[in-house]
Amino acid sequence: MSIVQILFWVLSVVALFSALMVITSKNPVYSVLWLIVTFFAISGHYILLNAQFLAIVNIIVYAGAIMVLFLFVIMLMNARQEGASGNKRWLTLAGTVSGGIFLLVLVAALKDSELKSRSAMVMDGQVGLIKVLGNELFTRYVVPFEISSILFLSAMVGAVVIGKKD
């Protein structure tokens, strides 16, 4: 096994395990912390694919900003208790079974697709560098970029209006 394969499998196992811990932890704070581990593993995958810009943005935006927002909201409210739902065990079983069926169908559909012989370039390639992406972002994608700034403005105004005490 080469170093790339070892890194890929280690990062995949970490991502899957921490994602499972996100949905099985009882305490929401632990869920947030495991989700941060998942995001770091996915950033590791980005670095392995030489998508450096997205790896850094993923860490700064997701692990840095969004997860801190989640932690603040959880600590502001007492979200420990998962309300007493009578049908919880039945619901867990039904959800797991339907998720498993979803996975089974998609794996069976994609197992022998024409993608089987293709492969993704790892540890090399210029496409994920900041220079290339920034050049493209400010020439061909400048209109969506500006529209996303308006989206942020409206999201900020919306959050303030919704969260305002009245």
Partner 1 sequence: MPINYYLFLSLALFTIGMVGVLTRRNAIIIFMCIELMLNAVNLLLVAFSKMHYQAAIEAGQLATQAGVDGQLFVFFIMVVAAAEVSVGLAIIVMMYRNVHSVDINFLNRLKH
Binding positions for partner 1, 34-73, rule CB under 8 A: 35, 38-39, 42, 45-46, 49-51, 53-54, 57-58, 61-62, 65-66, 69-70, 73
- CA terminus-to-terminus distance, the chain: 62
What Å distances lie between residue 123 and 79, 91, 127, CA to CA? 42, 43, 11
Number of residues counted as binding partner 1 (CB under 8 A)? 82
Q: Which of 14, 37, 56, 74 binds partner 1 (CB under 8 A)?
A: 74
Kindly identify the residues of this chain, within the stretch 87-116, that bind partner 1 according to CB under 8 A.
88, 91-92, 94-96, 98-100, 102-103, 106-107, 110, 115-116
Q: Which residues contact 134 (CB under 8 A, 6 or more apart)?
A: 53
Instruction: Please state the closest distance from residue 114 (CB atom) to partner 1, in A.
Output: 11
CA 115 to chain centre: 24
CA distance 63 to 56: 10
CA 5 to chain centre: 22
Is the torsion defined by CA of 74, 75, 76, 80 positive or negative? positive
Q: Which of 1, 3, 119, 143 binds partner 1 (CB under 8 A)?
A: 119
Write out the two tokens for 52: 């450096």
Q: Which of 6, 82, 142, 146 binds partner 1 (CB under 8 A)?
A: 82
Q: Is 122 in the site for partner 1 (CB under 8 A)?
A: yes
Kindly identify the residues of this chain, within the stretch 126-155, that bind partner 1 according to CB under 8 A.
127-128, 132-133, 136-137, 141, 144, 148, 151-152, 154-155
Instruction: Please state the closest distance from residue 108 (CB atom) to partner 1, in A.
Output: 11
Residue with tokens 């941060």: 36
Instruction: Please state the closest distance from residue 55 (CB atom) to partner 1, in A.
Output: 9
